[in-house]
Structure 1
Amino acid sequence: MMTDIRNLQAFALCIQKTDIKFDLFSVTKEMEKQIGYEFDFLREVNAMERIRRFLYENNKKTPVLVPRVLQGLATRQVHFVVILHIACTGNEEWLLRQRDDGSQLLLNATFTYLNRRVLVMDYIDGVPILTLGDEMAKRGINPGGKMATSAKQNILKSLTLAYGQMILKTGFFHADPHPGNILICKGSEVALLDYGQVKDLPDQLRLGFADLVLAMADSNPVKATESYRELGIDTVSNCKNEQQEMLRLAQTMFDTKLPPGVVMLQPFSEDASIKKIGVQSFPEELFSVLRTVHLLRGLSVGLGINYSCAEQWRPIAEEALYNAGRLKGANRTKVSNPGRFFRRY
């Protein structure tokens, strides 16, 4: 795997000098770091518990479900999820669990283990988000109807709220929201799985990104340009309307909203912002934020809903800046109906 990363880094150094004027090498360096964490399961346990506690304590109802870890059954080497009544291979164990209400639940779990190097988590009953359409069809729900649209909007709202809070309030967030890590549960509840890749943003980048969120939500080219500088994103321009193009680049990189009728952005197209403004230096620490936004955009396209995460995150960004003393209370914007930002493709 690390050989593949090295090859990717060599390719990045080549292509960023020719076809894409973007600091791809820094991105691959962050990928190298994150992949190394994938096999540290004690780190994953701590990350999962930290995020679970934050989301559950800061909301009347958590926007996403996070599996609960059975403490004591984890090491850095082996990781298994115990699934109720579903057998894998190996030796049978009976595990006694305590629920929140005090009642006991026996999990009949069969799993392979090595010297009890195991991570055990709650079983969450849900369907993968990629099979959501099939599940709706099974239940006689029209995937294009009002009920399905409402469910899809709720799913995106939940994910967007969870990520807005994680990234902007604490800077510590789940950094791998690809479809395989998302389950849809009863009542359109969303479960977020696999905490092998998490990111802890320094406060300087967290608050700098909050400034950028406001700039994108306000479509303010001056603030977007200033935010890029604050974040340490070094750019070079070969266009006349640099600030307006900088805003467009920021929205392309860090917002989920797409132009009307567009379902995929092409970095190689002649009118792409990256062709007009090159990114000479990109902070490695920001890659996980960039990747998260693009994965959320992909999910929104798959669900057929075009929306702006920047507009959804505006109140959270304002709160973060206000708490840090960087925004006066009079300048905060009250969003009474954030759902209005959702639009169908």
Structure 2
Amino acid sequence: SNHLRCKPHSEASVTLATHKLHHNRPEKTLPLQILYSFISAGKRMKIAIVTSLLFVLLENKGTNAFLHSNHRHVITQQPFIHEQARTSSFRFTPNPEMMMSENTALFSSSLPLEPAAESAPLVEFPPPLTSIQRTKRAIEFYKRVLPVLAAYKAKEIELKFKKLTKEEEEKVWADLDEWGSTVISDTIQDMKGFYVKTGQVIGTRVDLFPEAYTSKLQELQDGIESMPFEMVESVIRQELLDGAPLSELFSSFETEPLGAASIAQVHKATLLDGRTVAVKLQRPNVEPKLLGDVANLKRISKALADSLPVDYYTVFCELGDALERELDFLSEAQAMRKLKLAISDNGVAQGGPPVNVPLPIGELVSKRVLVMDFVEGVPLNRIGEKMKERGIEPGSPESKIAGLRIINSLAQAFARMTFGSGFVHSDPHPGNIFIGEGGKVSLIDCGQFKALSRTQRAQFAELVLAVAEYQETDPSDLFHAKKKLAKLVREFGVTFREGKEEDDDLAASVALLLFGNADQEMPGGYSTNELSDQSPVKLVASFPQELVLQCRATVLLKGIAKKLGVPFSLANVWRESCQLALDTTSKPVMPIWGKEMSAGEAIAVKAPVDTGKVQFRQIAKLIKLWGKGKAKRFMERVIKKLPPDTRSKVLAKVIKRQERKLEGKK
């Protein structure tokens, strides 16, 4: 056996061990050769010979998979899989002739794959970090980040004693932002793990953080350093093919990734049957770092619970659970199917699916590799560049119309998920949202999701409707609307710091922060800026763990709307869906993903109960939808024929009308 230990890559200290078996030796002479070599060899050579013999025995018995620390898994077409069924193995039987060749192929993104021959290199997935290793990571992170925080505090004190003009002071802060954002970005890129997740959220919050930070950290959404292709090849062959070459499954495979994120990277490939697919594979060393970082944060937040302004322990517990699911691509494949059905369900909205969700390809799924439909388009965080290429400037009427379409599609999709099926995608950051031709929106990366009970859905619906009602109430008559909001927030299970338990202004402000307009005036003088000393978030003592991810999704949606520069109110967009959800709360409804699916993945949708009576409200909605569709297509054709100046004026009028509608003005 020939063992090769590769030099550790910067991404991970991953050991690649390969072995060759000389299948062309006559079986009768093989035992004699081994015996002769064993007698004449030294101590170290004897160990090598015994190891080789073990490899041969294991190979002959077909149990070489025992050498792998992980198992191959299978996703069936069934809506649900019993926990025991999840441990069943998908074993791929390679072509024996290809396994006998001596040469390993090198793959090129521009060339079809040639048969490779050697047994697949073994990729060792590291064990969980020890307590000492976790502590070292935490020390390293804070050693690099604390000087940045100290620099901001020192500069704040320094400027109190200096007389600078407004322009000079802005220049000082801009220089500090540029330095600080570079340090933070480099630290996250170097350490990866959970810190990448934190950076991704900061990158979407243009309403909270300086441009220097958001512009650098948004690169974390799909621009992390990628794994070398040798490692990519090894992971796929080990996880899906039992060591067989990629050419047994793919006719071509692009060596350059489409994107590289915190947990995985994605490559474009073509199956032997001609289908174009996306292949997502997990970084070998990411799991210990992610879970170790979360364990650190949970330990720190629990120890400092009395000193911290927010109940971070609950937040990190929920995020830790979500990350464990995200690291299991079997769970993600199940979630993709459920989300596809949830978004296509007509239980709380009319019309076709507002967004697309790719599906896994048959049984080509394991814990760390997922083969799925390929989605054409560009990530939302790069849509501005694409618009500029087409001559559409940021802030122009055309740009705002496109932004409104994107955010409305996302909002409608999340309305169906939240209030229809109760199965929600909880990580809609711009790197997970693709925009295709014609503005078609696709949701990818379904690793983070949350299931809501019918009671929780009803609570959400009531709260969102109360926010919409508050926003439309005359400012001089907000007392009762505020009382209602505060009552619903407390029923959610949100508690507040000592002395603020009965503060209705505070409780109502939390609801408005989550679901209200971005520029909504808060009662009691509270601020919409979450980093402000007057933020209502800083007075929250505890938040129900099961609702953390749902609220995270709403915050990300509001951040996307802000980045697109369009007016947006979740409460107004979700109003109709909330009302329909409350109307059907008392009726028993089968979960959408529990309904039977055809072999061709046909979408099952909820149908009204046949009572023998004409349901006028449903007929009226269908007629209204049909009329809107006809009018929309007609107006699009008319607008395209207008001169450029006139078209811009018309679109500007449309935007103003949409803004008034979203603000709840009549």
TM-score using structure 2 length:
0.41
| Equivalent residue runs for 1:175-190 within 5 Å | 175-190=426-441
C-alpha distance in structure 2 between counterparts of 1:260 and 1:202, whole Å: 30
Q: Tell me by how many angstroms 1:136 deviates.
A: 0.7
Alignment partner, residue 558 of structure 2: 297
Within the candidate set 494, 498, 501, 1:233 is matched to 494
SS at match of 2:364: coil
Match of 1:308 in 2: 569
Q: Is the 8 A contact 2:333 2:359 kept in 1?
A: no
From 360, 364, 368, the counterpart of 1:78: 368
Amino acid at match of 2:355: V
Q: Which of 156-165 and 204-213 deviates more?
A: 204-213
The answer to whether the 8 Å contact 1:256/1:296 transfers is no
RMSD, aligned CA: 2.8
- Matching residue within 433, 440, 444 for 1:193: 444
Residues 189 and 10 (structure 1 numbering): CA distance in 2 closer, same or farther, change over 3 Å? same
Amino acid at match of 1:269: S
Mark the CA change 1:152 to 1:342 in structure 2 (over 3 Å): closer, same or farther. farther
Partners in 1 of 2:298 and 2:568 — Cα distance? 33
Which residue does 2:358 correspond to in 1?
A: 67
- Partner letter of residue 74 of structure 1? V
Describe the superposition over 1:244-274 as per-residue Cα deviations: whole angstroms up to 9, x where unpaired: 332112111x225222799x95434232223
* Structure 2 counterpart of 1:259, one-letter code: D
Alignment match, 1:39: 327
> 2:434 touches 2:443 (CA, 8 Å); kept in 1?
yes
Q: CA deviation at 1:306?
A: 2.9
Using structure 1 for the length normalisation, give the TM-score: 0.77
The one of 134, 145, 164 equivalent to 2:396 is 145
**Distance in 2, Cα, partners of 1:315 & 1:44:** 30
- One of 53, 56, 79 as aligned partner of 2:344: 56
Residue 54 of structure 1 and its aligned partner are, at CA, apart by 2.6
**Mapping for residues 204-215 of structure 1, pairs under 5 Å:** 204-215=455-466
> What is the one-letter code of the residue matched to 1:9?
K
Deviations 1:17-54 (A, max 9, x none): 3351x222111100110010112222111111111123
Letter in 2 for 1:39: L
Tell me if the contact between 2:463 and 2:488 (Cα under 8 Å) persists in the aligned partners: yes
Q: Secondary structure at the match of 1:297?
A: helix
Residue 297 of structure 2, aligned match among 1, 5, 8: 8
Q: Report how far residue 139 of structure 1 moved.
A: 0.9
How far 1:120 moved relative to its partner? 1.9
Query: Do the aligned partners of residues 268 and 147 (structure 1) sit closer, same or farther apart at CA in structure 2, a change above 3 Å counting?
Result: closer
Cα distance, 1:146 vs. partner? 1.4
The DSSP-based 3-state class of the residue aligned with 2:540 is strand
Equivalent position amino acid for 1:258 in 2: A
**Counterpart selection for 1:24 from 287, 312, 329:** 312
Equivalent positions of 1:101-180 (< 5 A) are 119-180=370-431
Whichever of the two has the greater Rg, that structure is 2
Contact 2:433 2:441 survives alignment (8 Å): yes
Q: Looking at secondary structure, tell me which structure has more strand per residue.
A: 1
Q: Is the 8 A contact 1:182 1:190 kept in 2?
A: yes
1:270 aligns with 2:530: no
Contact 1:256-1:297 within 8 A present in 2 as well: no
What is the one-letter code of the residue matched to 1:188?
A: G
Letter in 2 for 1:69: P
Distance 2:531 2:292 in 1: 27
Q: Which has the higher contact order (CA 8 A, sep 6+)?
A: 1
* DSSP-derived class of the 1:43 partner: helix
More helix, by proportion: 2
Which residue type is aligned with residue 53 of structure 1? L
Structure 1, gaps ≥5 residues long: 80-118, 327-333
- For residues 152-194 of structure 1, give each alpha carbon's deviation from its aligned partner in whole angstroms, at most 9, with x where no partner exists: 0000000011111101122101111011100111111111001
User: Which secondary structure does the structure 1 equivalent of 2:417 belong to?
Assistant: helix
User: Which runs of 5 or more structure 2 residues have no equivalent in the other structure?
Assistant: 1-289, 471-480, 588-620, 622-627, 629-656
Identical-residue share of aligned pairs (%): 32
Change (3 A) 1:6 1:241: closer
Distance 2:516 2:362 in 1: 37
